[in-house]
């Protein structure tokens, strides 16, 4: 639910399911979960579930992110952004240098989710995110190289402002060096 809440652009149910594909079905059957929440999701005009573009009703969004919802159901947008950024980086790494339609969203928006996580007060102590970011840099050769470098630099700067420790500085420096190596600036 947090992913739908923080999406940067509308995605179809099929695209959302693809973005969340690595969640083991025994933990969460994404398709079933989305179908169960149809009353708070505005599915758009399409009749086919997989092609629907869900948007959360504003009143439900306010309820679930503010102090009104019971704690166990409340969604912290910073944490939702962090989880979505991490998943986007996983999609980029898994797709390699051959992006497909399912990875386009991830390539275009991972940095926005990471920025949203930082702005939401989430600290980046998850080693896997640092590793994914480093690996993803190699796979983000699509589009303008300078924008890839700027996205990595902006995300890194946000993380440094939040967690300005020596380890974080060394990781960002290493990742930016790698980004500089793979990017061709014209």
pLDDT of 172: 74
Residues 57, 110 within the same domain: no
Residues 110, 87 within the same domain: yes
CA 108 to chain centre: 10
| pLDDT > 70? residue 54 | no
Residues 32, 119 within the same domain: no
Residues 102, 50 within the same domain: no
Is the residue at 72 inside a domain? no
Q: Considering its fold, how many domains does the chain have in total? A: 2
pLDDT of 93: 84
Residue with the larger pLDDT of the pair 112 and 19: 112
**Tens of pLDDT, residues 28-45:** 666 677 677 766 666 555
Determine the structural domain holding residue 149 and report its residue range. 77-182
Is the residue at 174 inside a domain? yes
Residues 103, 166 within the same domain: yes
Residues 28, 109 within the same domain: no
Band of the pLDDT at 24, cuts 50, 70, 90? low
**Tens of pLDDT, residues 80-123:** 998 898 898 888 888 876 667 668 888 888 888 888 888 888 77
| pLDDT > 70? residue 184 | no
* Helix or strand run (H / E) with residue 103: helix 101-119
Nearest to 159 by CA among 78, 66, 76, 75: 78
Residues 138, 86 within the same domain: yes
Residues 61, 82 within the same domain: no
């Amino acid at each position: 639910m947090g992913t739908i809440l923080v999406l940067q652009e509308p995605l179809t149910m099929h695209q959302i399911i693809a973005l969340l594909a690595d969640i083991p079905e025994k933990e969460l059957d994404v398709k079933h979960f989305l179908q169960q929440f149809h009353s708070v999701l505005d599915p758009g005009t399409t009749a086919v579930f997989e092609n629907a573009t869900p948007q959360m009703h504003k009143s439900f969004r306010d309820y679930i992110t503010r102090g009104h919802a019971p704690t166990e159901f409340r969604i912290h947008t910073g944490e939702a952004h962090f989880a979505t950024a991490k998943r986007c980086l996983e999609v980029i790494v898994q797709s390699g240098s051959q992006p497909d339609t399912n990875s386009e969203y991830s390539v275009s928006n991972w940095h926005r989710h990471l920025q949203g996580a930082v702005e939401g007060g989430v600290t980046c102590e998850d080693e896997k995110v640092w590793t994914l970011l480093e690996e993803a840099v190699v796979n983000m050769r699509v589009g303008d190289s300078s924008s890839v470098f700027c996205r990595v630099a902006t995300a890194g700067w946000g993380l440094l402002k939040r967690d300005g420790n020596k380890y974080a500085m060394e990781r960002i420096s290493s990742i930016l060096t790698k980004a500089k190596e793979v990017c061709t600036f014209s």
